[in-house]
Amino acid sequence: MKTLKQVPCGQTVKVTKLTGEGPVKRRIMDMGITKGVEIFVRKVAPLGDPIEITVRGYELSVRKADAEMIQVE
Amino acid sequence: MKIALAGNPNSGKTTLFNALTGSNQFVGNWPGVTVEKKEGKLKGHKDVVIMDLPGIYSLSPYTLEEVVARNYLINERPDAILNIIDGTNLERNLYLSTQLMELGIPMVMAVNMMDIVKKSGNKIHLDKLKQKLGCEVVEISALKGTGVKEAAEKVIQVAKRKTAVPPVHKFAAEVEDVLDSIETKLGSGVPEEQKRFFAIKLLEKDDKIGMQMKQAPDVSDEIKYIEKEMDDDTESIITNERYVYISSIIDECYTKVNTKEKLTVSDKIDRVVTNRFLALPIFAAVMVIVYYVSVTTVGTWATDWVNDGVFGDGWHLFGIESLYIPSIPELIGNGLAAIGCADWLSGLILDGIVAGVGAVLGFVPQMLVLFIFLAFLESCGYMARVAFIMDRIFRKFGLSGKSFIPMLIGTGCGVPGVMASRTIENDRDRKMTVMTTTFIPCGAKMPIIALIAGALFGGAWWVAPSAYFVGIAAIICSGIILKKTKMFAGDPAPFVMELPAYHWPTVGNVLRSMWERGWSFIKKAGTIILLSTIVVWFTTYFGWVDGQFRMLEDMELDHSILATIGNAIAWIFAPLGWGNWRAAVAAITGLVAKENVVGTFGILYGFAEVAEDGAEYWGALAGSMTAVAAYSFLTFNLLCAPCFAAMGAIKREMNSAKWFWFAIGYQTLLAYVVSLCVYQIGTLITTGAFGVGTVVAFLLVIVFIYLLVRPYKESNTLNISAKAMARVK
């Protein structure tokens, strides 16, 4: 199963499922990362974590550990 | 009439609030929490109060800001909501709007940043938006001030109507069925217009809402059914349904010209600023500028001017010799002498009160310079990038990437350093930063380092760097230990952060933010600084000489109450190697200002005036303690409770007596333990002496290592009592 963590910079992917539970999952979903939405991976922070993505027309930064909860295709 | 202003962070909410209320603002805190509370009277309408709710993305139960905002909306029931949304970021902003609509409170939606939307050629169809959300919609530009008046009039209009329009948006049929059945179960205990909100919260298993309801019906069957039906948890189902609805209407409401290929100015800036290779050099350059201006040059000039000029020996207007302006203590002193004021009273006024006021005001100019930078960095969007760039390093110690700035400023002065932590949104990260910032050796601790290095280490080069090393190690270890404790492990800290588009802040907003922070320091920190300065003044200048209680001369410090206290508590420091009363007294006067340690030693050794590093009495000091004991004295003074001014800042930022004492207590305890270990283990190594103290030191080291490495699990619940917050009204 591919997760957002494995997506290289410059690629657009589609969210298939969100795993996990509780505040982090709710927060991720509140910010607009829901099933079926397209995510563009913009860049990785200079120290290698977190990553910057574009979702629903705005920029969001997500830690790689949390990006693992987002399954994509 | 009460109107709540609600919206996402970075939606221009503060700008709109300022435009609506002008200078009629009252800034405070929500009861029991550190979240800022702002309210103001609407310009031209004395009877209309605007309540600025914290910027939020959702009404979930997981962040402090969200809980504060929804408790206000549910319990206080404002007459109307003015929901500001960012027109350039419609989809995510509408997500909150769908939740606000369900509260059953009349609402007006103000679509902000319309000037930018129009400039880009995109179109927002307000009529469609109104039809699909069910509330009145107006377009504004808070920055340019257009449409603000109309928005205010509209919101008063709907508030007068008293009844809310039911929300238009619908979820999938199965979800709607389940919600219907829960609404029926709610019965007459819940007003009709609020039923949908409570039904959704019950379905979402939001127990904070459940607790606030008089009687919550059992909805576990509904939850079980829908979770099985849709193969997801109810919370995610509802969130998903909201976005599904928004996606279904967005094309009708928003016409986008094809900008896929074109990069906005903000994108271009971001490409450079957070570029893989350029990000760190640019970050370093920005930090150097902030530090150089607010600590090295302008800020320090301003602070020196206040401390040494206005409250010191007087100053010269424009630096011209002949234009001498006497200092405030001088003026007051002359005045008091002219009216023949008693010695003790003029002492109290000059050395107690005026010096105390000077200590408070002395920090203000430097702070204002720093606050201008912070306000600018925050509102232009760079502060979010600071967190983005530094997150990887700082999160390991339970701190935020934004903690870098308080720590950096803390190397100059801990007071503005602590105040700089205000930019950190997350409550836990902020408290952690406030507690650890003063471990960094500040400018005032330099003379102590110079004293110890000169007197006992022959001016060895490594003493000063080692002091910084101790400070940084204290921050890292404290971060790791504290984040595992009950006090901190309570609250979750999801780091899913919006990186807002860059834009130029307005001069007005930057200055207003600077002033608000500066004023809150004077007001909240001022009292504690003033009081403690007076107390220390009294204990320093009064005492028993030959069995008679009287006021003392400068050189009679060894007869003072302070010296008595020093003698009484000196034994506490014996295990640290410096249990003599002089060192104890010096450590106490260090609380007024750390550089006092050097001068106090001077007086106690019989020198009225000493150099900044106390070179005159190096020999005497070296005779009174061993090198290891002196280093233990140094570490204690570096790490223990900071000066009163910094304590005042900590009190202001913690905004809770419990947290304030926890912070001060922790700092002092850590200082004691570290110094004890330094002295006992250091003595063992240098002289081979082994005793009870050595055993204790080794035990403490073991406990310390255990606290560092013990496993822990990140918590998932927000550790505040919704009930307690609801009760405080």
Q: Which two tokens stand for residue B71?
A: 């408790």
β-partners of residue B315 are B325
Contacts of B280 in chain A (CB under 8 A): 46
Name the residue in chain A with its Cα closest to that of B502: A59
Smallest CA–CA distance, residue A3 to chain B, in Å, is 16
Q: How far lies B443's CA from each of B459, B528, B532, B590, B653, in Å?
A: 18, 22, 21, 13, 21
Contacts of A24 in chain B (CB under 8 A): 492, 494, 496
Per-residue pLDDT, B261: 57
Closest CA to A63 of A27, A35, A30: A27
Residue B160 lies in a domain: yes
CB-CB under 8 Å, B389 with A46: yes
Cα gap B70→B60, rounded to integer Å: 9
Phi first, then psi: give them for residue B107, nearest 5 degrees.
-140, 145
Residue B438 lies in a domain: no
By CB atoms closer than 10 A (0-12, 13-18, 19+), residue A58 is buried
Per-residue pLDDT, B490: 57
Contacts of A56 in chain B (CB under 8 A): 89, 91-92
Contacts of A37 in chain B (CB under 8 A): 243
Contacts of B88 in chain A (CB under 8 A): 57
Contact B498, B10 (CB under 8 A): yes
Question: Average pLDDT, stretch B553-562?
Answer: 83
Per-residue pLDDT, B291: 86
Smallest CA–CA distance, residue A1 to chain B, in Å, is 18
B109 is in an annotated binding site: no
Question: Average pLDDT, stretch B686-701?
Answer: 91
Contacts of B233 in chain A (CB under 8 A): 21
CB-CB under 8 Å, B236 with A22: no
Cα gap B300→B482, rounded to integer Å: 33
Label residue B258 by pLDDT band (50, 70, 90): low
- Taking only residues 2 to 61 of chain A, the set having a beta carbon closer than 8 angstroms to any beta carbon of chain B reads 18, 21-32, 34-35, 37, 43-50, 52, 56-61
Question: Average pLDDT, stretch B430-448?
Answer: 90
Q: How far lies B59's CA from each of A26, B54, B117, B201, B382, in Å?
A: 11, 11, 27, 10, 27
Contacts of A21 in chain B (CB under 8 A): 233, 716
| Residue bearing the bigger pLDDT, B621 or B533 | B621
Per-residue pLDDT, A54: 94
Q: How far lies B209's CA from each of B187, B262, B652, B719, in Å?
A: 17, 46, 31, 15
What letter represents residue B525's amino acid? A
Per-residue pLDDT, B259: 60
CB-CB under 8 Å, B240 with A34: yes
In this complex, the residue of B88, B92, B387 whose CB is nearest that of residue A32 is B92
Residue B717: pLDDT over 70: no
Question: Average pLDDT, stretch B437-441?
Answer: 93
Record the pTM.
0.84
pLDDT cut 90: percent of chain B above it: 40
Residue B373: pLDDT over 60: yes
In this complex, the residue of B58, B88, B236 whose CB is nearest that of residue A25 is B236
Contacts of A47 in chain B (CB under 8 A): 389-393
What domains can be seen in chain A, in order of their start residue? 4-72 (2.30.30.90)
CATH number at residue B96: 3.40.50.300
By CB atoms closer than 10 A (0-12, 13-18, 19+), residue B215 is exposed
Residue B126: pLDDT over 70: yes
- Residue spans of alpha helices (H) in B265-316: 265-273, 279-291, 298-304
Cα gap B17→B50, rounded to integer Å: 8
Per-residue pLDDT, B554: 74
CB-CB under 8 Å, B501 with A61: no
In this complex, the residue of B58, B240, B388 whose CB is nearest that of residue A61 is B388
What letter represents residue B41's amino acid? K
CB-CB under 8 Å, A56 with B57: no
How many other CB atoms sit within 10 Å of the CB of residue B336? 17
CB-CB under 8 Å, B240 with A32: no
Mutate to test the interface with B, among A59, A62, A66 (most CBs of B within 10 A): A59
CB-CB under 8 Å, B498 with A23: no
User: Going by DSSP bridges, is the β-strand pair B136-139/B254-255 parallel, antiparallel, or unpaired?
Assistant: unpaired
In this complex, the residue of B57, B90, B501 whose CB is nearest that of residue A30 is B57
Per-residue pLDDT, B260: 60
Cα gap B441→B413, rounded to integer Å: 9
Cα gap B349→B49, rounded to integer Å: 42
Q: How far lies B389's CA from each of B274, B473, B647, in Å?
A: 8, 22, 30
In this complex, the residue of A27, A48, A62 whose CB is nearest that of residue B392 is A48
Residue with tokens 């984040």: B483
Mutate to test the interface with B, among A61, A66, A69 (most CBs of B within 10 A): A61
In this complex, the residue of B62, B275, B277 whose CB is nearest that of residue A27 is B62
Domain limits for position B92: 2-257
Contact B367, B298 (CB under 8 A): no
Name the residue in chain B with its Cα closest to that of A65: B495
Per-residue pLDDT, B262: 67
Could you read off the pLDDT of B593-639 as tens digits, one per residue? 888 888 888 888 888 778 888 888 999 899 888 999 999 999 999 99
Cα gap B624→B622, rounded to integer Å: 6
Contact B202, B219 (CB under 8 A): yes
Contacts of A68 in chain B (CB under 8 A): none
CB-CB under 8 Å, A46 with B276: yes
Residue B729: pLDDT over 70: no
β-partners of residue A38 are A14
- Residue spans of alpha helices (H) in B484-580: 486-489, 507-541, 561-569
Question: Average pLDDT, stretch B314-323?
Answer: 79
Residue B200 lies in a domain: yes
B13 is in an annotated binding site: yes
Contacts of A62 in chain B (CB under 8 A): 495-496
Residue B39: pLDDT over 70: yes
Question: Average pLDDT, stretch B218-243?
Answer: 92
CB-CB under 8 Å, B495 with A30: no
CB-CB under 8 Å, A23 with B496: no
B32 is in an annotated binding site: yes
| Residue bearing the bigger pLDDT, A7 or B554 | A7
Contact A23, B365 (CB under 8 A): no
Residue B156: pLDDT over 50: yes
Is A68 an 8 Å CB contact of chain B? no
Label residue B493 by pLDDT band (50, 70, 90): low
Label residue B727 by pLDDT band (50, 70, 90): very low
Name the residue in chain B with its Cα closest to that of A24: B494
Residue B728: pLDDT over 50: no
Cα gap A43→A50, rounded to integer Å: 9
CB-CB under 8 Å, A62 with B496: yes
Contacts of A66 in chain B (CB under 8 A): 494-496
Looking at the structure of chain B, the number of domains it has is 1
Could you read off the pLDDT of B331-363 as tens digits, one per residue? 898 998 888 888 888 888 888 888 878 877 887
Cα gap B403→B433, rounded to integer Å: 6
Question: Average pLDDT, stretch B130-153?
Answer: 93
Smallest CA–CA distance, residue A17 to chain B, in Å, is 10
Could you read off the pLDDT of B446-480 as tens digits, one per residue? 889 999 999 999 888 899 999 999 999 999 999 99
Cα gap B590→B595, rounded to integer Å: 7
Q: How far lies A67's CA from each of B114, B387, B493, B495, B611, in Å?
A: 33, 17, 15, 11, 58
CB-CB under 8 Å, B92 with A58: yes
CB-CB under 8 Å, B235 with A31: no
In this complex, the residue of B88, B391, B496 whose CB is nearest that of residue A31 is B496
Contacts of B63 in chain A (CB under 8 A): 27
* Contacts with B134 (C-beta within 8 Å, 6 or more apart), sequence order: B101, B165, B166, B167, B168, B169
Q: In this prediction, does ipTM exceed 0.90?
A: yes
Smallest CA–CA distance, residue A2 to chain B, in Å, is 20
B416 is in an annotated binding site: no
* Mean pLDDT of all residues belonging to chain B: 87
Smallest CA–CA distance, residue A19 to chain B, in Å, is 10
Label residue B535 by pLDDT band (50, 70, 90): confident
- Count CA atoms within 13 Å of residue B629 on its CB side: 17
Contact B98, B242 (CB under 8 A): yes
Per-residue pLDDT, B365: 86
Contacts of B235 in chain A (CB under 8 A): 26
In this complex, the residue of A24, A31, A45 whose CB is nearest that of residue B391 is A45
